[in-house]
Amino acid sequence: MRNNKNQKSQWQPATMTIHGGKQPDQHGALVAPLYQTATFAFNTTAEGSARFAGEESGYIYSRLGNPTTNELEARVAQLEGFPAGAACATGMGAVSAAMLAFLQQGDHVVVADAIYGCSFALFSHLFKKFGIEVEFVDMTDAENVRGAMRDNTKMVFIETPANPHLKIIDIAAVAAIAHERQARVIVDNTFMTPLLQQPRKQGADLVIHSATKFLNGHGDVVAGLICGSAEDIEMIKSTTLKDMGATMSPHDAWLILRGLKTLDVRMERHCQNAVKVAEYLVQQPFVRDVYFPGLPDHPAQRLMGTQMHGSGAVIAFELHGDSQDAQRLLDYLELITIAVSLGDAETLIQHPASMTHSPYSAEARARAGISETLIRIAVGLEAADDIINDLAQAFAKTFVIDNTKEQQQGETVSYG
């Protein structure tokens, strides 16, 4: 069929985001139709029974499958280079459905030590409750993974670049160690998107996304995706997704399909803006450290061109000062929005210790280096100069004007 776009795997990623995996429509609609329906009518009882028995293909009920969510699954899976995908209600729905489909009581999981706060909570609290042992290791040295592997290790969970510090893990090195023990490697690719990193090429067995972020890109959806082999995705869909039920709504899938079309141009602008903001931050006297894969001295540079094809748009930075300075800096911002999440058109800034990483215990946060003066900025699509000017006026108010006032007050007291 003329508009069956499935065959052209040689297309470049920018073309794939628009045409890859596109299903032909019976009316020739340019845009994938939204099947906003909970259930599907059977022509006869025999047809319905045959679909439930798996003897006949066809839709039954949207938790079990829907043409709009199926289209999104196929398209993201193609971008990631996997044969199949599963759409989930949220990124956390994707993490939990992908992991629990392959785990049972008594299994052991090795997890990177610095990851998104709710993933940390899932592994450190909930998994424990169900008898799954979790070991957190610093995977920036892949040999630490070898030391943690046991006979009952079934999965190795990686987030790279990791939330919030942009720590980088060599996926190929970790996957080689995990596969020696037949453990599945699962990579959270949220910060990169398949345009900047395709973990399957480095040996990942499953890739998950918080599609809430760059994939959708417009801040109006919470959603998740899992990509993997046809067998693994079938296992996830027929167990944890079907029976625990964190599946994606067709409307959210439709919005993400729309967002995907501009992923390539958005990522290009996100990355360009982030480089400019990072270069500005590095020069600020009130900034102690800047963590950003695009900086020349960042460990990510070793994997640029192989594992990574861009630096992304999330920057973390450490202030000189205290938690009050961090709070004041954020409160003085006028253009940049104080909000969690990332990958939106709007530049968002947040305080990991009290926000995204508050599910960590204070001790675990200290171990992971998530200090009170760490700030994370998710650079958006505005003009870079406007983002930088807003930071500049907030830095000036926090560190120059306020500190001068404090000094003057201090002087008044000491000399008064």
- Of 70, 78, 198, 210, the residue at the interface with ligand 3LM (CB under 6 A) is 210
**Concatenated DSSP letters of 371-409:** -TTEEEEE--SS-HHHHHHHHHHHHIIIIIIHHHHHHHH
- Of 17, 66, 78, 90, the residue at the interface with ligand 3LM (CB under 6 A) is 90
> Which residue, 32, 119, 109, 41, is CA-closest to 75?
32
Give 12's contacts (C-beta < 8 A, 6+ positions apart): none
Measured from the CB of residue 187, what is the shortest distance to ligand 3LM in angstroms? 10
Strands (E), 74-137: 84-88, 108-112, 133-137
Cβ 189 vs Cβ 80: under 8 Å: yes
213 part of the active site = yes
341 binds ligand 3LM (CB under 6 A): yes
Q: Footprint of ligand 3LM on residues 146-185 (CB under 6 A)?
A: 159, 163
Measured from the CB of residue 162, what is the shortest distance to ligand 3LM in angstroms? 8
The interface region with ligand 3LM, picked from 76-84, 315-323, 339-347, 360-368 by CB under 6 A, is 339-347
Compare residues 71 and 188 and give the one whose CB is closer to ligand 3LM.
188
Q: Footprint of ligand 3LM on residues 342-361 (CB under 6 A)?
A: 342, 356
188 part of the active site = yes
Distance CA(263)–CA(338), nearest Å, equals 24
Which residue, judged by CB position, is nearest to ligand 3LM in the bound state?
A: 91
Q: How many CB atoms lie within 10 A of CB 305?
A: 8
Strands ordered across the beta sheet of 133-137: 84-88, 224-228, 206-210, 184-188, 153-159, 108-112, 133-137
The interface region with ligand 3LM, picked from 268-276, 300-308, 334-342, 385-393 by CB under 6 A, is 334-342
- Of 116, 157, 292, 360, the residue at the interface with ligand 3LM (CB under 6 A) is 116
121 binds ligand 3LM (CB under 6 A): no
Measured from the CB of residue 82, what is the shortest distance to ligand 3LM in angstroms? 18
Q: How many CB atoms lie within 10 A of CB 259?
A: 21
> Which residue, 389, 307, 401, is CA-closest to 347?
389
Measured from the CB of residue 188, what is the shortest distance to ligand 3LM in angstroms? 5
Number of chain positions touching ligand 3LM (CB under 6 A): 18
The interface region with ligand 3LM, picked from 57-65, 134-142, 298-306, 335-343 by CB under 6 A, is 335-343
Distance CA(231)–CA(228), nearest Å, equals 8
Measured from the CB of residue 209, what is the shortest distance to ligand 3LM in angstroms? 8
The SS3 assignment for 329 reads: helix
Q: From the candidates 35, 51, 116, 154, which is the catalytic residue?
A: 116
Cβ 70 vs Cβ 35: under 8 Å: no
Compare residues 149 and 377 and give the one whose CB is closer to ligand 3LM.
377
CA distances to 101, 164, 205, 232 from 241, in Å: 9, 28, 18, 12
The interface region with ligand 3LM, picked from 66-74, 87-95, 239-247, 398-406 by CB under 6 A, is 87-95
Give the dihedral sign, CA 328/329/331/334.
positive
The interface region with ligand 3LM, picked from 67-75, 111-119, 323-331, 386-394 by CB under 6 A, is 111-119
Compare residues 190 and 198 and give the one whose CB is closer to ligand 3LM.
190
Cβ 153 vs Cβ 108: under 8 Å: yes
Q: From the candidates 63, 146, 367, 397, which is the catalytic residue?
A: 63
> Which residue, 71, 113, 115, 111, is CA-closest to 91?
115
Compare residues 149 and 248 and give the one whose CB is closer to ligand 3LM.
248
154 part of the active site = no
92 binds ligand 3LM (CB under 6 A): yes
> Which residue, 282, 309, 255, is CA-closest to 388?
282
Give 17's contacts (C-beta < 8 A, 6+ positions apart): 79, 195, 260, 261, 262, 263, 264
Q: From the candidates 188, 205, 325, 344, which is the catalytic residue?
A: 188
- Of 60, 64, 340, 364, the residue at the interface with ligand 3LM (CB under 6 A) is 340
Residues near ligand 3LM (CB under 6 A) are 90-92, 116, 118-119, 159, 163, 188, 190, 210, 212, 222, 224, 340-342, 356
Give me the active site residues, please.
63, 116, 188, 213
